[in-house]
């Protein structure tokens, strides 16, 4: 398959990749990416490329990632070699590296690593950086498509991420929701209002996805605003939050829109001004499907504006307008001229514009439209001219006042020089005449005269059918036409032949005196025709109309069968039934259900409980820690890098438990709780970061809450800024930092209010005095080798069986101590590393499983801390339970 | 969402492919080629094509088809808009979006595509963010890179990506602080044979080039904001302020961007700057025709009309044209059947005229319809709608920026029926 030339090039690439020079490697990777882009196979280089996955050069690394994602599926075994690099990178202090590691790891479609991916996603979903969390949301979809069995676990992650307040995450997680569990509408309830309020600030692509999801949601949760007697109370939304219970939507009462419904409409409206056409279309379809009919008009202008955009955008927008204009002419009528056709438009755009103009036609504007159509009929684009004739036919049937004008116009076109135009006119005239044949015998005569000059089969067939159907109106001409046809029968197209037979039969029944012989002659010709359809038809007709001894009862009814009054064809828009699809979707464009299309449900008759969307005002403290940071909206972009450079690695696990600092009884109504956030402290490198939640359970406001200057034990404490006033029943969360000096000695200080002083103390667990760091397995062993002798303490324990799995060992250890997990090559050895907060001494923990025993070893210079930590890890691992 | 992307040139060569999920064989493009063949003109290719297992959504830009492969339901505009964004990014990076530039910069193209989509969902599409992640190529930088071995790829997360103003990067510094705004209006019109306006409207955009240090907060106000019928804004514009005060308040992206676009519809009287007197006729016999076109100024508000070009798409039977122009040059291309008359500046004293005979294919019937004329023109220092910028104020920074506003009127889709 490969040319020898390619093989030799391949060889030199391999050499370049294996050289020591970064620049050569980069050059090689660039050429390989060029090969991939051209679609050439470069999979043989996999072993050489994958070695560079841990390269320090960021551009080289990125190109290796590109390669890996492309070929990992084909080279699964080799791809596994790269996994540990990504696992390490997942703990990198730089959020860009963490995110890109997760991106690539989740893009490698190798089923074996599903558990690793799952773990990585769960971890990233609680990452401090919203960018990493966004990547996690994307990874959810990838994992789901790789292994749909993970659905339940993934839904848990989605549920967690849906609660995220960052605008960065919102679009991505809703996308994951749509892909993984679009039917779990219950997950949306609590987040509905938040999503509505965030919407304006979400990036444009996320907006589209969220709007489509909310459209579906709203159709299941609110009652229809489309009732005739509806009363619309704009102000009700404002009053909503005070008097929720009073509002009950009832069938008998006048319609009042659910305030949440109004919230959605109000918050999406500004997006009609977006520069992104997909957003404008999404809002338009939301209004179309959800808004009261009289509010629909606001989307018109924006949709018309989109017509100025690219050809492809026009195509989609025009399609949607075509569907809308069938139901609601009024919306687009003032903008009729925007749909005028230019000679430079593409054919499918022209046809769509024509469709819309036809839909918009009414008694008032029909003369303008017809004048415009006259220009189009003359167009050089003959397919378009033909479509215009059809459109004229449509207008003629829909608006009875102009039927005659249209017919006369069409008859004039019969003498047009172009075949297609004439043919189309004949077909349309035929349809029109069927609706009112009696008055138009002169038109039929005119067509008979033109018959000789018309060569398009469809047109000839149509005229013949007309002759036969209305032969009684033109008794002189019809037999003559039949005579001519008898002569040319053998040269005609099949559809024409069928109509000749048809005409003959009808004339035989009405005027057998003149046409008996002609008919028999034609039937004989048909009997020996090459086409079996024609032979069949001839046989059938003969049996039906020529009575003989064998013919059954049917021939008695021949006249009634053939000359039965036929219903006129209905000329209607091709977009008539498109409204069964949600506007703006692919299915609507194709007019057939695309895979993965989610149907819009009908409005419920009675609104489901609205209180499900209520959210408690006080948010529980988030387990990700540092809730202030996760609100990226209020967070200044500039301060990010500062925070990142401080942290050695993000904590693997942050416990939710908070400890009591001050009970409300002793604190005279003021209670305080603290928890360790396990984040690097922003007040000082040697401090442990703490979060304090102060609550006021009295019925009076507490003023000036602060920590007094004097500290009894001499620890360095960074106090929180004094809280000037804490309202009754309110609570506030503040952060502070304490330098425990690497000892578990309690920090004692005074918590003061305006009136009182309370002595409190914080007793840290030894595990909280650490910060996680990442290192490679080799570094770990090296460092461990240096810290032996009295720096090492170890113990052997018997593990409870449920603790033996790798996940539970990891979880247990990181829950007692703030340590980083080191990716391990061996299955039965677990390694954790960290440093003490104050002095930065290394703390290394390893757990070696030897069924059923386990050996815990702790290496650190701080021997006291080491032994205390050992005790705690021991208890954690021997205890069963979570 | 978006599964794969194929770039195909006008000749039907597939010259780049990129997959964001599992690899899809390029044979899926056969369905596209089929449709392409059927459509004859590239403009007539349907944007959405259905195949047994996939859906192909394509755009045609700069003689390149961007064909994306979709597997499940997705709003088609979402994909179309994204593909156009990709084309614009290429243009922004390489100066033009053509097959040659894409092939020359295939590595950067790949890096860009990698950043723009993750698993088929758009990740970073803001030019300011992308430029921090992947630096655009310049001759100087590629020289430096080869010598020092440094790379084009940024190492930190772009500051914009995380903030709530993703379109602007932090720490912008200029020695000369300047902000320029171009008000560009295009007249879309259809005039009929007699010169009466069938339809006319104005489409305007305000393009900005803002090079200001720090985090400037700008406010742009108009003398006559009521003129604007329908507007759409760059995401940086605060919609609430527009609603309440009719001023445009925004923190600008760094560099060039389109601040807003607006629409002044047919209801307001749109001034038509020129008139066209034309007479094109084909004779029943003799296989020839005559053409006579004169252009003159109408409502130009005292400004000069420049860059005047008349384009005529002749019927297929016209073989050649033997004309004489009193001003400018004309050219008839017998292959594409396009007659192009480049007039240049319109002189009101001496109206330009193009006159002469057309020769037709002998024996062919005379064309049914006369071809319509497409007009192109430009008027400097004038916004034909009368829109005027009142003032530009800057808050948040101390320095005094240099400000400038320029007005231009152009013909958009300006057509004269004959």
List the single range of A127-131, A420-424, B65-69 with lowest mean pLDDT.
Answer: A420-424
Express each pLDDT in A241-277 by its tens digit: 444 444 444 445 577 888 889 999 999 988 998 889 9
CA distance B369 to chain A (A): 6
Is pLDDT at B65 greater than 90 in this prediction? yes
Q: What are A370-413's pLDDT values in tens digits?
A: 888 888 888 878 888 888 988 888 888 888 788 888 888 888 88
CA atoms of A448 and A445, how far apart (whole Å): 5
C-alpha–C-alpha distance, residues A511 and A500, integer Å: 15
Torsion-angle region of residue A786: left (phi > 0), alpha (psi -120 to 50) or beta? Answer: alpha
Name which of A135, A281, A636 is nearest B77 (Cβ-Cβ): A281
Least Cα distance to A451 among A407, A406, A496 occurs for: A496
Chain mean position to CA A723? 44
What lies within 8 Å, CB to CB, of B113 at 6+ separation is: B5, B18, B86
Lowest-pLDDT choice from A586-595, B72-81, B130-139, B307-316: B130-139
Coarse DSSP helix, strand, coil percentages of chain A, rounded to the nearest 5 percent: 55, 10, 30
Read off the pLDDT of residues A678-703 as tens digits, 9 standing for 90 and up.
Answer: 877 767 777 888 888 888 888 788 88
Tell me how many residue pairs between chain A and chain B have CB atoms under 8 A apart.
258
- Mean pLDDT (chain B) is 86
Q: Summarize pLDDT for B354-411 with one digit per residue, the tens.
A: 999 888 888 777 777 778 889 999 999 888 888 899 989 998 888 888 999 999 999 9
Query: What are phi and psi for residue A449, nearest 5 degrees?
Result: -65, -40
The rounded distance, in Å, linking the Cα atoms of A674 and A683 is: 17
Strand order in the sheet with A702-707: A723-726, A702-707, A747-752, A757-762
Contact A277 B119 (CB under 8 A): no
List all residues 6 or more positions away from A257 whose beta carbon is below 8 Å from its beta carbon. A222, A225, A232, A233, A236, A237, A292
A597 neighbourhood in chain B, CB within 8 Å: 73
Q: Is the pLDDT of residue B32 over 90?
A: yes
pLDDT above 50 (res A646): no
Contact A337, B199 (CB under 8 A): yes
Question: Which pLDDT score is estimated for B60?
Answer: 93
Closest-CA residue to A353 (of A581, A570, A569, A575): A575
Cα–Cα dist B145/B143, whole Å: 5
As given in the structure block, the two tokens for residue A43 are 């999979």
Q: Do B75 and A278 touch (CB under 8 A)?
A: yes
E strand residue ranges, A569-663: 659-662
Q: Which of A512-516, A696-700, B36-40 has the highest mean pLDDT?
A: B36-40
Residue of A nearest to B21 (CA): A107
The per-residue pLDDT of chain A, averaged, comes to: 81
Topology classification of domain B2-148: Beta-Lactamase (3.30.450)
For A788-823, the DSSP string reads -GGGEEEEEEEPPGGG-SHHHHHHHHHHHS--EEEP
A621 vs A420, residue with greater confidence? A420
For chain B, state the CA radius of gyration.
25
Which tokens go with B167?
């379109």
pLDDT at A616: 60
Task: For residue A273, give the chain B residue with the closest CA.
Answer: B232
pLDDT band per the 50, 70, 90 thresholds, residue B259: very high
CB proximity list for A596: less than 8 A, separation 6 or greater: B71, B72, B73
Q: Do B77 and A277 touch (CB under 8 A)?
A: yes
Whether the pLDDT of residue A511 is over 50: the answer is yes
Tell me what ipTM this predicted complex has. Answer: 0.88
Yes or no: say if A458 and A487 are a contact pair by the CB < 8 Å rule. no
CA distance B290 to chain A (A): 19
Alpha carbon distance A9, A4 (integer Å): 9
In this prediction, residues A609-616 reach a mean pLDDT of: 78
> In Å, what is the CA distance from A522 to each residue of A483, A515, A538, A546?
10, 10, 9, 13
The tokens of A767 are what? 């595990």
> What pLDDT does A312 receive?
92
Question: What is the C-alpha separation between A592 and A572, in angstroms, rounded?
Answer: 19
How many alpha carbons fall within 13 Å on the CB side of residue B299?
10
Q: Which fold has domain B274-380?
A: Immunoglobulin-like (2.60.40)
* Chain B residues inside the 8 Å CB shell of A313: 77, 80-81, 84
pLDDT, residue A624, reads: 40
Whether A399 and A410 have beta carbons less than 8 Å apart is answered as: no
Give chain B positions within 8 Å (CB) of A317: 77
A249 in Cβ contact with A258 (< 8 Å): yes
Are residues A36 and B21, on separate chains, in Cβ contact within 8 Å? no
Q: CA-to-CA distance for B219 and B259, rounded, in angstroms?
A: 12
Whole-angstrom distance, CA of residue B123 vs CA of residue B4: 15
Token look-up 């300006």 returns B414
User: What is the per-residue pLDDT for A625?
Assistant: 37
B76 touches chain A (CB under 8 A): yes
Query: Which residues of A708-837 form beta strands (DSSP E)?
Result: 716-718, 723-726, 731-739, 747-752, 757-762, 770-772, 792-798, 820-822, 829-836
For the record, the structure tokens of B302 come out as 């005292």
B178-270+384-416 CATH fold: Immunoglobulin-like (2.60.40)
The residue among B228 and B210 whose pLDDT is bigger is: B210
Tell me which of B76, B130, B170, B189 to substitute to probe the interface with A (most A C-beta atoms closer than 10 Å).
B76
Which domains does chain A possess?
7-214 (1.25.10.10), 461-565 (no CATH), 659-764 (2.60.40.1150), 768-878 (3.30.310.10)
Q: What is the pLDDT of residue A286?
A: 94
Same fold flag, B2-148 and B178-270+384-416: no
Report residue A223: phi and psi, to 5°.
Answer: -85, 160
Which residue has better confidence, A232 or B162? Answer: B162
Token pair belonging to A352:
């769509």
Inter-chain contact A94–B413, Cβ cutoff 8 Å? no
Per-residue confidence (pLDDT) for residue B184, from 0 to 100: 94
Contact criterion met (CB below 8 Å) for A701 and A674: no
- pLDDT given at position B33: 93
Domain range summary for chain B, segments of one domain joined by +? 2-148, 178-270+384-416, 274-380
Of B230, B258, B313, the CB nearest to A301: B230
């Amino acid at each position: 398959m490969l040319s020898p030339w390619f093989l030799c090039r391949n060889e030199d690439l391999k050499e370049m990749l294996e050289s020591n020079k970064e620049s050569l490697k980069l050059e090689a990777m660039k050429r390989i990416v060029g090969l991939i882009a051209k679609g050439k196979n470069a999979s043989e280089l996999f072993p050489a490329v994958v070695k560079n996955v841990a390269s320090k050069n960021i551009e080289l690394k990125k190109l290796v990632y590109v390669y890996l994602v492309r070929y990992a599926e084909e080279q699964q075994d080799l791809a596994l070699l790269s996994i540990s690099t990504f696992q390490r990178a997942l703990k990198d202090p730089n959020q860009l590296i963490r995110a890109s590691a997760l991106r690539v790891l989740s893009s490698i479609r190798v089923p074996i690593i599903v558990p690793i991916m799952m773990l990585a996603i769960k971890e990233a979903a609680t990452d401090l950086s919203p960018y990493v969390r966004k990547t996690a949301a994307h990874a959810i979809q990838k994992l789901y498509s790789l292994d749909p069995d993970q659905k339940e676990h993934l839904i848990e992650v989605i549920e967690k991420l849906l609660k995220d307040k960052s605008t960065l995450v919102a679009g991505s997680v809703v996308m994951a929701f749509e892909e993984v569990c679009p039917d779990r509408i219950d997950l949306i309830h609590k987040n509905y209002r938040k999503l509505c309020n965030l919407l304006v600030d979400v990036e444009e692509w996320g907006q589209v996805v969220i709007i489509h999801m909310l459209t579906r949601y709203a159709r299941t949760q609110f009652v229809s605003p489309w009732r005739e007697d509806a009363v619309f109370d704009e102000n009700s939304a404002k009053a909503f939050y005070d008097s929720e219970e009073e509002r009950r939507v009832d069938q008998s009462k006048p319609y009042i829109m659910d305030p949440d419904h109004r919230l959605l409409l109000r918050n999406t409206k500004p997006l009609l001004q977006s520069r992104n056409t997909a957003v404008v279309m999404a809002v338009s379809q939301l209004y179309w499907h959800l808004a009261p009919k009289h509010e629909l008009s606001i989307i018109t202008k924006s949709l018309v504006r989109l017509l100025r955009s690219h050809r492809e955008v026009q195509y989609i927008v025009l399609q949607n307008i075509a569907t809308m204009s069938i139901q609601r002419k009024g919306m687009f009528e003032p903008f009729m001229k925007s749909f005028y056709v230019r000679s430079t438009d593409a054919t499918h755009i022209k046809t769509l514009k024509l469709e819309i103009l036809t839909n918009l036609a009414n008694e008032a504007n029909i003369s303008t439209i017809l004048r415009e159509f006259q220009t189009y009929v003359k167009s050089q684009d003959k397919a378009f001219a033909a479509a215009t004739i059809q459109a004229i036919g449509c207008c003629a049937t829909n608006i009875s006042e102009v039927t005659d004008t249209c017919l006369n116009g069409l008859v004039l076109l019969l003498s047009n020089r172009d075949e297609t135009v004439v043919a189309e006119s004949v077909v349309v005239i035929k349809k029109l005449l069927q609706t009112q044949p009696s008055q138009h015998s002169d038109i039929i005569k005119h067509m008979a005269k033109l018959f000789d000059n018309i060569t398009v089969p469809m047109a000839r067939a149509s005229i013949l059918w007309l002759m036969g159907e209305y032969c009684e109106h033109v008794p002189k001409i019809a037999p003559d036409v039949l005579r001519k046809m008898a002569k040319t029968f053998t040269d005609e197209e099949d559809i024409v032949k069928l109509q000749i037979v048809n005409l003959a039969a009808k004339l035989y029944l009405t005027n057998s005196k003149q046409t008996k012989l002609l008919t028999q002659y034609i039937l004989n010709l048909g009997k020996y025709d090459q086409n079996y359809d024609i032979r069949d038809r001839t046989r059938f007709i003969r049996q039906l109309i020529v009575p003989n001894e064998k013919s059954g009862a049917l021939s008695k009814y021949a006249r009634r069968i053939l000359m039965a009054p036929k219903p006129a064809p209905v000329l209607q828009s091709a977009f008539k039934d498109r409204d069964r699809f949600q506007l703006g979707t692919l299915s609507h464009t194709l007019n057939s259900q695309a895979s993965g299309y989610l149907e819009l449900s009908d409005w419920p008759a009675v609104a489901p409980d609205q209180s499900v969307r209520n959210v408690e005002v006080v948010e529980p403290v988030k387990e990700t820690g540092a809730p202030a940071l996760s609100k990226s909206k209020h967070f200044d972009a500039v301060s990010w890098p500062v925070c990142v450079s401080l942290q050695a690695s993000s904590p693997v696990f942050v416990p939710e438990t908070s400890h009591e600092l001050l009970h409300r009884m002793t604190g005279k109504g003021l209670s305080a709780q603290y928890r360790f956030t396990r984040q690097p402290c922003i007040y000082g490198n040697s401090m442990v970061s703490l979060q304090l939640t102060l609550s006021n359970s009295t019925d009076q406001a507490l003023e000036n809450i602060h920590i007094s200057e004097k500290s009894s034990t001499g620890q360095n404490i960074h106090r929180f800024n004094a809280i000037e006033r804490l309202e009754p029943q309110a609570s506030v969360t503040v952060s502070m930092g304490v330098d425990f000096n690497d000892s578990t000695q309690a920090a004692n200080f005074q918590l003061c209010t305006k009136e009182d002083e309370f002595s409190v103390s914080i007793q840290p667990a030894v595990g909280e005095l650490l910060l996680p760091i990442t290192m490679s397995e080799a570094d770990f062993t090296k460092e461990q080798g240096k810290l032996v002798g009295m720096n090492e303490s170890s113990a052997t324990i018997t593990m409870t069986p449920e603790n033996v799995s790798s996940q539970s060992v990891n979880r247990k250890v990181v829950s007692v101590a703030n340590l980083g997990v080191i990716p391990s090559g061996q299955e039965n050895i677990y390694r954790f590393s960290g440093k003490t907060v104050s002095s930065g001494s290394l703390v290394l923990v390893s757990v070696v499983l030897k069924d059923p025993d386990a050996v815990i070893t702790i290496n650190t210079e701080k021997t006291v801390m080491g032994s205390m930590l050992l005790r705690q890890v021991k208890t954690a691992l021997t205890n069963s339970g979570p | 969402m978006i599964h794969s992307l194929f770039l195909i040139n006008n000749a039907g060569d597939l010259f780049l492919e990129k997959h964001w999920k599992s690899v899809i064989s390029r044979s899926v493009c056969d369905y596209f080629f089929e449709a392409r063949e059927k459509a004859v003109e590239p403009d007539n290719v349907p944007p959405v094509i259905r195949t047994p297992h996939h859906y192909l959504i394509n755009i045609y830009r700069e003689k390149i088809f961007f064909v994306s492969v979709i597997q499940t339901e997705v709003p088609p505009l979402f994909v179309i808009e994204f593909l156009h964004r990709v084309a614009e990014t290429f243009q922004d990076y390489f100066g033009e979006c053509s097959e040659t530039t894409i092939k020359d910069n295939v590595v950067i193209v790949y890096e860009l595509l990698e950043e723009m989509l993750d698993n088929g969902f758009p990740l970073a599409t803001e030019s300011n963010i992308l430029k921090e992640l992947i630096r655009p190529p310049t001759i100087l930088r590629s020289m430096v890179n080869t010598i020092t071995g440094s790379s084009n790829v940024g190492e930190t997360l772009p500051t914009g990506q995380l903030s709530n103003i993703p379109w602007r990067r932090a720490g912008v510094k200029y020695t000369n602080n300047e902000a320029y705004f171009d008000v560009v209006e295009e007249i879309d019109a259809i005039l009929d044979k007699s010169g009466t306006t069938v339809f006319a409207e104005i489409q305007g955009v305000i393009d900005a080039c803002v090079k200001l240090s720090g985090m400037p907060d700008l406010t742009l106000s108009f003398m006559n904001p009521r003129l604007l019928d329908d507007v759409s804004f760059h995401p940086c514009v605060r919609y609430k302020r527009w609603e309440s005060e009719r001023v445009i308040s925004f923190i600008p992206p760094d560099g060039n961007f389109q601040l807003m676009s607006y629409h002044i519809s047919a209801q307001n009287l749109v001034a038509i700057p020129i008139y066209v007197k034309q007479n094109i006729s084909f004779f029943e016999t003799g296989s020839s025709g005559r053409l006579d076109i004169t252009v003159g100024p109408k409502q130009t508000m005292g400004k000069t009309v420049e860059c005047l070009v008349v384009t005529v798409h002749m019927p297929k039977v016209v073989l050649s044209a033997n004309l004489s122009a009193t001003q400018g040059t004309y050219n008839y291309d017998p292959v594409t059947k396009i007659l192009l008359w480049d007039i240049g500046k319109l002189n009101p004293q001496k109206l330009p005229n193009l006159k002469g005979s057309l020769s037709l294919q002998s024996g062919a019937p005379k064309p049914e319809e006369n071809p319509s004329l497409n007009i192109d023109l430009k008027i400097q220092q004038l916004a034909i709608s009368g829109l005027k910028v009142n003032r530009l104020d800057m808050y948040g920074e101390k320095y005094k920026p240099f400000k400038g506003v320029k007005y231009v009127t152009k013909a958009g889709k300006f057509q004269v029926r004959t």
